[in-house]
Chains A and B, each alone.
Chain A
Amino acid sequence: MSLTALTYWVVGATFTLYIGIAIWARAGSTKEFYVAGGGVPPIANGMATAADWMSAASFIGMAGLIALSYGGYGGSVFLMGWTGGFVILALLLAPYLRKFGRFTVPEFIGDRFYSDTARIVAVVCLILCSVTYVIGQMKGIGVAFSRFLETDYQTGLFTGMVIVFFYAVLGGMKGITYTQIAQYCVLIMAYTIPAIFISLQLTGNPIPQLGLGSTLLGTDTYLLDRLDQVVTELGFVEYTTSIRGSTLNMVAFTASLMVGTAGLPHVIIRFFTVPRVQDARTSAGWALVFIAILYTTAPAVAAMARLNIVQTLVPAPGESLQIDERPVWFQNWEETGLLVIDDKNRDGAIQYSANPDTNELVKLDNDILVLANPEIAQLPNWVIALVAAGGLAAALSTAAGLLLAIASAISHDLLKSTFMPRITEKQELAASRGAMALAIIGAGYLGLHPPGFAAGTVALAFGLAASSLFPVLMMGIFSRRVTREGAIAGMVAGIGVTLFYVFQHKGIMFIPGTAFLGDTPENWFFGIEPNAFGIIGALLNFVVAIVVSRLSAPPPESVQQLVDNIRTPRGAQRGLVDH
């Protein structure tokens, strides 16, 4: 069977599975639609959270980002940032928000800060960060389809939209939860199987995490030492010490991703689905276990694939790969435009180095590292088909989670809680399905006509979540004194300064030419790059909220009781029942 036919079979089988689950897991009430009935076991929720969390960027992009754009060690900001956030989520937010026992993140902010204005500001912040994030997922779906199934981008995007529509509109959180569990299984197999093979081939050790620290097969040279040596010989920075910007920038970048992770609404609402407060705590641990399987494999994939690529291009020191001897995978990826060679000196060989004037591998896209991995390691076709299904699973699961966060904010926080409090539960359920359908169409439209900022979107989403939602959620739990005025001012200041900083360096709405300060390190505030600025926005949010709270009247007695109530697990069962 040809590779394309095989890929159709594997992807088709996974899609049938997702639709089957959707029919089985139909939502019959708002509680099922928003929080899957509140009865998801903690390990299952951990798995669903892992799929919800790991997007197309984690699956396809991250290993290449680490190995190529960030030169190795510099990419550690993603590894630590995107996992460390779960520690603050588990210790500072998840158990208390679960105790609060409602359906959405803005609902907590609205109740704790006794203000519909605060609720609406939270909805706006939620929609800003979720929409910027979902555009990247829709693009990922379209790209994965067009690359593996040889459809055009639009057909791929529409197919993805129909699948998500089916299980998200029908099943709400309940359908999404159970499909995410299936999607996790698909994506983790697709990620680890090629990694195991590549580790075996290079080091003889089947566990990639250990293979990364092992010696190369048949030699007594450590893999990382060899990698450091070959990249420095070509003029690149040493793989294991390549710092990103400055130490301060690395700290700020990591902190922004951590705090952003803890503040992303589609991740937080997953912790509303478990039965007990205690389950919210352990569930975060399970989520991180399932995420760590991929996140500790990724650096191994990064280093091993980088070594493979360099050794393909430079078979021995001083030698270069002859163009007509290049491997088949090389030619396959040239056709996609993700890998481009240009024989500048016309000697029939590819000179590869860090010097842009003489380097003839003029483009090596980050995404290639994971996507071409099975071909580089000469694995059978079914593994390549599985990688396609895995990339789609990662994009679909994250898109569905984001869409639910957007839809529930619209139907629950805007309609039911603010503008149309009289609607019945049945009407609200219909409204939430309608909002979900609208959100999918909106996201599809943005996927087809991505605004100029599509490239920078995922990192921006973290900055926005870190600077707007996380600080007020945390203060809402840990302080009785922070007031309505403080929370509103804090959110507006935090998200405002972050957007301002990103726009001043990257262009207003990322439109080229509208940046009023060039995006170069000399112009950055203490050398902190725009993607790492969320933590500064978050700090400002804290400071503004605390100062304004001191100047305004303390919260009413009932709110102080609410804070006391969420701090202990006792009575959590009642919270969800009387809603």
Chain B
Amino acid sequence: MSESRRDDAYWRRNLRLVAGLLSIWFVVSFGCGILFVDLLNQVPLGGFKLGFWFAQQGAIYVFIALIFYYAHAMKKLDREFGVEEEEV
């Protein structure tokens, strides 16, 4: 595979990954925290209403996990396509 075709394939895989992670990002914040908050508030989580918990804590925990997952997955993808950085 030529270098530019390989780079294109790498970029498409990256876009798919970003799209997937941003969907989760949208669902936990705008979805669970705002749009469906009333519905989720019917569910108790300890002393929290679940929707309120997502809006004030839960979404933030998921955000952290998303970024670290992305960094991890991209490191693997970089190696798979041989586009990783030289070691410093």
Note all chain B residues with C-beta closer than 8 A to A292.
Answer: 60-61, 63-64
Closest CB of chain B to A284's CB: distance in Å? 5
Interface class of chain A by DSSP: helix
Q: Is A340 an interface residue (CB 8 A)?
A: no
Q: Is B86 an interface residue (CB 8 A)?
A: yes
Given that A214-B47, A295-B60 are known contacts, is A568 also in contact with B70, CB under 8 Å in the complex?
A: no
Given that A567-B7, A573-B85 are known contacts, is A92 also in contact with B18, CB under 8 Å in the complex?
A: yes
| B47 contact from A225, A250, A295, A564, Cβ within 8 A | A225
A569 in contact with B57 (CB, 8 Å): no
Closest CB of chain A to B88's CB: distance in Å? 5
CB-CB nearest in chain B for A278:
B75
Give the interface centre of B11, B63, B66, B83 by most chain A CB atoms within 10 Å. B63
A79 in contact with B56 (CB, 8 Å): yes
CB-CB nearest in chain B for A283:
B71
List residues 556-579 of chain A with CB under 8 A from any CB of chain B: 564, 567-573
Note all chain A residues with C-beta closer than 8 A to B88.
Answer: 275-276, 573
Note all chain A residues with C-beta closer than 8 A to B53.
Answer: 213
Q: Is A540 an interface residue (CB 8 A)?
A: no
CB-CB nearest in chain B for A222:
B47
CB-CB nearest in chain B for A95:
B74
Interface class of chain B by DSSP: helix
Note all chain B residues with C-beta closer than 8 A to A506.
Answer: none
Note all chain B residues with C-beta closer than 8 A to A568.
Answer: 7, 10-11, 78, 81, 83
Q: Is A241 an interface residue (CB 8 A)?
A: yes
A223 in contact with B52 (CB, 8 Å): no
Q: Is A204 an interface residue (CB 8 A)?
A: no
A573 vs B87: C-alpha distance when bound (angstroms): 9
Segment from A52-60, A81-89, A357-365 that makes contact with B: A81-89
A84 in contact with B56 (CB, 8 Å): no
A369 vs B60: C-alpha distance when bound (angstroms): 22
Given that A213-B53, A278-B74, A292-B60 are known contacts, is A254 also in contact with B47, CB under 8 Å in the complex?
A: no
A352 vs B10: C-alpha distance when bound (angstroms): 62
Chain B positions 24 through 35: 1 when the CB is less than 8 Å from some CB of chain A, otherwise 0: 010001100111
B56 in contact with A76 (CB, 8 Å): yes
Given that A79-B60, A299-B56, A569-B84 are known contacts, is A213 also in contact with B46, CB under 8 Å in the complex?
A: yes
Given that A91-B22, A278-B85 are known contacts, is A285 also in contact with B71, CB under 8 Å in the complex?
A: yes
B83 in contact with A86 (CB, 8 Å): no
A288 vs B59: C-alpha distance when bound (angstroms): 12
Note all chain A residues with C-beta closer than 8 A to B33.
Answer: 76, 80, 254
Note all chain A residues with C-beta closer than 8 A to B75.
Answer: 278
Q: Is A73 an interface residue (CB 8 A)?
A: yes
Q: Is B39 an interface residue (CB 8 A)?
A: no
A570 vs B74: C-alpha distance when bound (angstroms): 13
A282 in contact with B78 (CB, 8 Å): no
B47 in contact with A296 (CB, 8 Å): no
| A251 contact from B30, B38, B47, Cβ within 8 A | B30
CB-CB nearest in chain B for A295:
B60
A570 in contact with B83 (CB, 8 Å): yes
| A91 contact from B10, B18, B41, B85, Cβ within 8 A | B18
| A240 contact from B4, B18, B49, Cβ within 8 A | B49
What is the interface of chain A, defined by CB distance below 8 A to chain B?
A: 73, 76, 79-80, 83-84, 86-88, 90-92, 95, 209, 212-215, 222-225, 240-241, 247, 250-251, 254-255, 275-278, 281-282, 284-285, 288-289, 292, 295-296, 299, 564, 567-573
Q: Lowest 3 CB-CB distances: which A-B pairs, in order? A: A222-B47, A76-B55, A281-B71
